[in-house]
Amino acid sequence: MTVYAPLLGMLWRTLESYGFDPRQIIPEDVYRPGMGPLAGERVSLAIYDELLSRAARLVGDPAIGLRAAEKLHPSHLGALGHAWMASSSLRTAIYRAQRYHRMLNERVILRLNQAPGLLLVEYGLPEKAPIPDEQADSLLACMLNLCRFNFGPEFTPAFVHMRRAPPANVEPWTRYFGTGVEFDRDQNCLAIHDCDADKQLTGSSPQLVAVHEEMLQRKMVELDQSDIINRTRVAILDQLPSGQLNGEIVAAELNMTRRTLHNKLRSRGVTFSTLVTEIRKELARRYLLDCSYGVTETSFLLGYADSSAFSRAFKSWFGVSPSEYRQACG
């Protein structure tokens, strides 16, 4: 497994902020500012983990994950960071981050869920990840930092939950997130009010997003051409408008049997129907935010036989009808 090497720029700036020379930690053949990642665009997780662990030991600050997030700039995320800044809303930016997050770190899992009135952003780390508390702090704090880049410094999450035990002094966490952080919870989660997630952002640029999306898609293909989830998503997207989407057709397009496809997806912790629903939900929001698509046209693009079936599904997902959602976001 690997990590996107330009992320080391964030670590470099973090060490500098504590008054340390980053060259004490980061080897010359791995990264230097202005010269990019000298060992290539990606570094192994083993090297990345060692650098993070050494930095944490050197600094000795329990809140180093929060400090690191303050030093994050979207440019550290490459094409994903630029696409994030040009996104039309926080929701589209976050869904884009989920789609391409593996490009940044192949080990970290980014999950999105919906609760009444809330978008839930959850991060998963393996049990044996080094300095898991500091990494979880950094992941959630980086997400908040990116949201504030787009939304404005006044953005505050609805709540923050962390799996870690409470630190001796919780004040840095409360100050950074702008709300009380609940520790010893079941997941690392940042909750965002729907009204904030769907607010149209003034810096949005569909043209820039399209350019960087193309770059991201190429990088994802390069990262893992054999990834069954990405391949299945592409096949589903191809088949959706036909109105004849099913596992048999998608499996045939991937040159395997339906049983084999379902077994491969199950081994990755997902199902075919779950992927179809995730894609439909994502596209439904995107189309409804674009006034050039009517509700009926959107329903056909998503593979529904009629608009009433789409409307029922949409309301079951988001609690409002497509027309009500469009009006609220308009």
Per-residue pLDDT of the chain (330 residues; tens, 9 = 90+): 678 888 899 999 999 999 999 998 998 888 888 765 444 577 888 888 889 999 999 999 999 999 999 999 888 888 888 889 889 999 999 999 998 888 888 888 899 999 999 999 999 887 677 888 999 999 999 999 999 999 999 999 999 999 999 999 999 999 999 988 999 999 999 999 999 999 998 877 888 788 877 778 777 767 655 567 777 887 888 888 888 788 899 999 888 999 999 988 888 778 999 889 988 887 888 788 777 778 888 898 898 888 899 999 999 998 989 888 887 765
Which residue's entry shows tokens 């589903």?
236
Task: Cite the DSSP H helix spans in 79-163.
Answer: 79-85, 90-100, 132-151
Give 3-state DSSP helix, strand, coil % of the chain, rounded to 5. Answer: 55, 10, 30
Residues in the chain: 330
- Angstrom distance (rounded) from CA 110 to CA 8: 20
**Tens digit of pLDDT for each residue in 19-77?**
999 998 998 888 888 765 444 577 888 888 889 999 999 999 999 999 999 999 888 88
The tens digit of pLDDT for each residue in 86-120 reads 899 999 999 999 988 888 888 888 999 999 999 99
The model carries a pTM of 0.67
| Nearest residue to 317 via CA among 279, 281, 275, 289 | 281
Phi (first) and psi of residue 227, to 5 degrees: -65, 115
Our CA angle for 298, 304, 308, nearest 5°, is 80
The DSSP result for 218-231, as a single string, is HHHHHH-TT-HHHH
